[in-house]
Amino acid sequence: MQSSILSDLPKPLALVCHDAGAANLIFSWMSADAASQPDVVSDWRLLVEGPAAKLWTDYGLPQVCLCQSIDELLEGAQTLLSGTGWASSLEYDSIRMARQLGIHSIAVIDHWINYRARFQRDGREILPDEIWVSDVDARKIAKSEFKDIKITQMPNSYLEKIVHKVRTYERANNIGNNILYLLEPIRGAWGDEVVSGEFEALNFFIKHISVLGLGESPVIRLRPHPSDPAGKYDQWISEQKGQNILLDNSPTLAESIAWSDAVVGCQTYAMVVALAADKKVFSSIPPWAPSCVLPQKDIVKISEISPSA
């Protein structure tokens, strides 16, 4: 695994994260750099909120200076490295303020959709000076979307680390019918449906579960997204009569994936992690919805293999 991802950036270095995807990438880079060059941590300051704040407790870098506001984060900083989440305006506001202060800003894009929308709020677009991605497909998309911004592909230290962890947790005696369903919030409904997208996909998955080829009576664990409120899926689980379904309580995503024989979801990044760990991966997006945006060709779309879909 490469190190020194952040050490060459002009310092002090300000880092800000809200959503989980980019946070995992940034925190992995921080951990790798801190392990190889412990002194570099003294020039870092970090602002975390939302899912990223919960993730940060798992990374164990207590010497990093934690800030409470964007003003505190950017005071005297030379570089800003931020996520690009949609669940809050924290990262957008940090990029906007960095531009006002003349601070070089780098934004990390962790997925393959809605690239420009990540930098837009209330009809106003604020772009960073540079964009970092972590795979070839994302680099192609970013270069197409942002003609005048430097696009850099960085190593995906998070993916490498979590796949290694999956290998250490895997059991040789898996019985072959364990299904991990990776939940993710989806705003609104698709088509004429009245329920939100994540529940449409769950219903479609249950209706066509036989096409996964895992035999009768599979064991199904639903792993909530870090932003899901407690109890969100309790009623849906109680309505699934005759199914062996429960919420996943594994401490880490790596342990959840290691337990599984097949992984199902809509288009969450965690499906890419499962694929890299050599699991069978299926998208549960129904045929009346926009197709799964994940570019990995080995992800099987249930809507394309079910004869009655």
Q: Is 124 exposed, middle or buried (0-12, 13-18, 19+ CB in 10 A)?
A: exposed
| Residue 180 near residue 259 (C-beta atoms within 8 A) | yes
Give average pLDDT by consecutive 10-residue segment, the chain, 309 residues: 77 96 94 89 95 89 92 98 93 98 97 93 96 96 96 95 91 75 86 82 95 88 90 94 93 94 94 96 95 94 84
Q: Which two tokens stand for residue 169?
A: 């947790």
Clarify whether residues 168 and 84 are in a common domain: no
Q: Which two tokens stand for residue 224?
A: 């909530």
Clarify whether residues 123 and 212 are in a common domain: no
Clarify whether residues 186 and 114 are in a common domain: no
| Residue 262 near residue 212 (C-beta atoms within 8 A) | yes
Q: Tell me, what CATH number does 42's domain have?
A: 3.40.50.2000
Clarify whether residues 145 and 168 are in a common domain: no
Domain termination residue (choose one: 155, 173, 202): 155
Q: Tell me, what CATH number does 286's domain have?
A: 3.40.50
DSSP class of 87: S
pLDDT of residue 175: 61
149 φ, ψ to 5°? -115, 140
Helix (H, G, I), strand (E, B) or coil at 144: helix
Q: Output the 3-class SS for 141-181.
A: HHHHHCCCCEEEECCCHHHHHHHHHHHHHCCCCCCCCEEEE
**Residue at 8 is within a domain:** no
pLDDT of residue 23: 95
pLDDT of residue 281: 98
Q: Is 176 exposed, middle or buried (0-12, 13-18, 19+ CB in 10 A)?
A: exposed
pLDDT of residue 188: 75
pTM of the model: 0.82
- Of 72, 82, 77, 142, whose CA–CA distance to 106 is shortest? 82
pLDDT of residue 172: 56
**Residue at 1 is within a domain:** no
Number of domains in the chain: 2
**Residue at 7 is within a domain:** no
Indicate the residue type of 72: E
Domain of 31 in residue numbering reads as: 13-155
Label the pairing between strands 280-283 and 44-48. Answer: unpaired
Domain termination residue (choose one: 108, 140, 155): 155
Q: Give the whole-angstrom CA distance, residue 47 versus residue 50.
A: 11
| Residue 260 near residue 282 (C-beta atoms within 8 A) | no
**Residue at 18 is within a domain:** yes
Q: Give the whole-angstrom CA distance, residue 220 versus residue 180.
A: 6
Q: Give the whole-angstrom CA distance, residue 96 versus residue 108.
A: 15
pLDDT one-digit tens code per residue, 105-164: 999 999 898 999 999 999 999 999 999 999 999 999 999 999 999 999 999 999 999 999
pLDDT of residue 170: 81
Cβ–Cβ contacts within 10 Å for residue 39, how many?
A: 8
DSSP class of 69: S
